[in-house]
Amino acid sequence: MRALVFTAPGKAEVLAVTAPVAAAGQVVVDVERVGVCGTDMELFSGEMSYFGSGGSTYPLRPGHEWCGVVSAVGDGVDEGWIGRRVTGDTMVGCGHCRRCESGRHWVCADRHELGITDGLPGALAEQVAVPAAFLHRLPGAVGATLGAMVEPGGNALRCVDAAGVAAKERLLVLGTGTIGLLVALFARARGVEVHLIGKTPHDLELPRSMGFTDAWTRDTLPAVPWDGIVDASTGHEMPALALDLVEPGRRVVYIGLSVPPSLIDTRALVLKDVTAVGILGASAGLAGAIDAYANGSVDPRPLVAGTVSLDELAGVLAGHHRPPGAGPKIHVDPRL
Report the distance separating Cα 118 and Cα 166, nearest Å. Answer: 40
Q: What pLDDT score was predicted for residue 39?
A: 93
Per-residue CA distances from 302 to 20, 223, 248 (Å):
33, 30, 35
Q: Where are the domains of the chain?
A: 2-149+300-332, 153-278
The mean pLDDT of 80-85, rounded to a whole number, is: 98
Report the distance separating Cα 42 and Cα 29, nearest Å. Answer: 25
Residue 319: which pLDDT band, with cuts at 50, 70 and 90? confident
pTM passes above 0.95: yes
Q: What pLDDT score was predicted for residue 123?
A: 98
Report the distance separating Cα 218 and Cα 237, nearest Å. Answer: 12
Residue 322: which pLDDT band, with cuts at 50, 70 and 90? confident
| Residue 142, strand partner residues | none
Contact criterion met (CB below 8 Å) for 86 and 50:
no
- Cβ atoms within 10 Å, residue 22: 21
Report the distance separating Cα 267 and Cα 270, nearest Å. Answer: 5
Residue 243: pLDDT above 90? Answer: yes
Residue 26: pLDDT above 90? Answer: yes
Burial of 322 (0-12, 13-18, 19+ CB in 10 A): middle
Residue 143: which pLDDT band, with cuts at 50, 70 and 90? very high
Q: What pLDDT score was predicted for residue 314?
A: 87
Output the CA angle 33-84-281, nearest 5 degrees: 55
Residue 318: which pLDDT band, with cuts at 50, 70 and 90? confident
**Ramachandran region, residue 168 (left: φ > 0; alpha: ψ -120 to 50; beta: rest):** left
Q: What pLDDT score was predicted for residue 253?
A: 98
Mean of the per-residue pLDDT values of the chain: 96
Residue 336: pLDDT above 90? Answer: yes
Q: DSSP assignment of 24-88, as one string?
A: TTEEEEEEEEEEE-HHHHHHHHT--HHHHHTS--SSB----EEEEEEEEE-TTS-GGGTT-EEEE
Report the distance separating Cα 140 and Cα 169, nearest Å. Answer: 34
Q: What pLDDT score was predicted for residue 145?
A: 98
Contact criterion met (CB below 8 Å) for 68 and 119:
no
Q: What pLDDT score was predicted for residue 198?
A: 97
Q: In one letter, which amino acid is 169? A: E
Residue 291: which pLDDT band, with cuts at 50, 70 and 90? very high
Report the distance separating Cα 157 and Cα 162, nearest Å. Answer: 9
Contact criterion met (CB below 8 Å) for 3 and 126:
yes
Report the distance separating Cα 229 and Cα 252, nearest Å. Answer: 5
Report the distance separating Cα 173 and Cα 258, nearest Å. Answer: 16
H/E stretch holding 201 reads none
Q: Which fold has domain 2-149+300-332?
A: Quinone Oxidoreductase; Chain A, domain 1 (3.90.180)
Peptide bond into 225 cis (omega under 30): no
Report the distance separating Cα 69 and Cα 85, nearest Å. Answer: 4
Contact criterion met (CB below 8 Å) for 77 and 26:
yes
| Lowest pLDDT segment from 116-120, 278-282, 317-321, 322-326 | 317-321
Q: What pLDDT score was predicted for residue 180?
A: 98
Q: What pLDDT score was predicted for residue 19?
A: 98
Tens of pLDDT, residue by residue over 36-59, are 999 999 999 998 889 988 999 999
Query: Sheet containing 246-254: which strands, arranged edge to edge?
Result: 215-216, 193-197, 170-174, 226-231, 246-254, 275-278
Residue 181: pLDDT above 90? Answer: yes
Give the CATH class of 153-278: alpha beta
Residue 106: which pLDDT band, with cuts at 50, 70 and 90? very high
